[in-house]
Structure 1
């Protein structure tokens, strides 16, 4: 059976391969308990018919979930849901700086530095006024043996020199806020995409799995940019909760 998607289909004719789209739908159903832990997924033939795709496409999607540890493919038996993606302990993306610092203050991941240099950040005019020099730390965070985040942090050189070793060894935001540094404004943005080859390798996750790109910028009272963070989180380790006020 060849892959076919009409305008009423669940999959769309985007540049994203069909098996990645299909894997996202399967993952969503597992997350929401449509396919609960300990149950068998519908047979491949049934999934082929539901999504109008080939056997190869369904198998590729299931193999992605198997590498994520969500299902187990058993020859001659079927595909068993062995873990709910929702069981993981997510990193809460707070919407205020104080709350974010407090959330990180209690976090004790294993930090592995993979780059330590004077590389400047990529900035836009809306970010603020660039400092003369920055110190760049790139690292991977892991918890309970799972690598969940790769992050590049750029600190204004004078700020970095206030606590060099602590910045290298600890979660950076709580260290920064413990120093004699005034933050006049803080911005954070989040976009959703898929893991590329580098992120897949650094976080030991399947290529194409969902990720959250988080960017934070902090400026001082002179509007000088003192901190920039560009982080990539596994999609299953992010929890965003917002208070919607009338």
Structure 2
């Protein structure tokens, strides 16, 4: 990519969206550090070069650099330039797994702090072929946090007959390990789909992200032996909190 084409791409990214330009610029620069485009010890392009590449004012670049300096990623040095001095954490809170047992263990191990932000009785948004709806569902909308940092927003529809067996536990704990441990509840089929999307205004607020930041959306459906959907969850994860790893057949 030529410098001129990088400038067009960079300027287009910075001009998009309602977030302050300096915050958007800081996010682009942060990703360059994450990906190793700007490794530790690298000297950033000059202020004028960054202004030209991203099509922003001098104050915008300075604000972005100051923000990343407070995060410990950059170090502006008088007379020498700005250098990369750190890198964001690459820790992933959630690993995408392929069995129900692994999924239950995963939620037991992460031990999230749960913030319930809505609870009601509702009808799940089932699509064609996704299963048979139960008569009534308990709906829970919640945010999961680890170390005080939100990493996912989840909408859960749980068969009300199951919810009423242990409502306080379902309100306070992650649902999947509870389901797996309940006597008389058998998950005969489980399916999930992961797609990559971007954060809308509400999700961005709940997950403390910029609007349009990358997120992973997971839809999970558990059915009983009769094909009734006993659990449906639409989960939105921060893009920096999830990892997908799989073995490929040679």
**TM-score when scaled to structure 1?**
0.80
Structure with greater Cα Rg: 2
Q: Partner of 1:189 in structure 2?
A: 193
Structure 2 residue 50 is matched with structure 1 residue 47: yes
- CA apart distance, 1:193: 2.1
Q: Partner of 1:199 in structure 2?
A: 203
Structure 2 residue 104 is matched with structure 1 residue 101: yes
Aligned-pair Cα RMSD in Å: 3.6
- CA apart distance, 1:31: 1.5
Q: Answer yes or no: is the 8 Å Cα contact 1:184–1:220 preserved in 2.
A: yes
Q: Answer yes or no: is the 8 Å Cα contact 1:44–1:55 preserved in 2.
A: no
What is the CA deviation profile of residues 87-121 of structure 1, one whole-angstrom value per residue up to 9, with x for unaligned ones? Answer: 33421121222211111121211111111110222
Q: Partner of 2:246 in structure 1?
A: 242
**TM-score when scaled to structure 2?**
0.79
Q: Answer yes or no: is the 8 Å Cα contact 1:45–1:55 preserved in 2.
A: no
| Structure 1: gaps (5+ residues) | none
5 Å-filtered alignment, 1:9-158, equals 10=9, 17=16, 25-36=28-39, 41-49=44-52, 51=53, 53-55=55-57, 59=61, 62=64, 66=68, 69=71, 71=73, 81=84, 84-158=87-161
- Match of 2:168, SS state, is helix
Match among 228, 231, 234 for residue 232 of structure 2: 228
Q: Answer yes or no: is the 8 Å Cα contact 2:26–2:68 preserved in 1.
A: no
Structure 1 residues 202 and 68: CA distance shift in structure 2, 3 A: farther
| Structure 2: gaps (5+ residues) | none
What is the CA deviation profile of residues 20-60 of structure 1, one whole-angstrom value per residue up to 9, with x for unaligned ones? Answer: 986665343221233245765333322344x4633479749
Structure 1 residues 70 and 167: CA distance shift in structure 2, 3 A: farther
Structure 1 residues 61 and 213: CA distance shift in structure 2, 3 A: farther
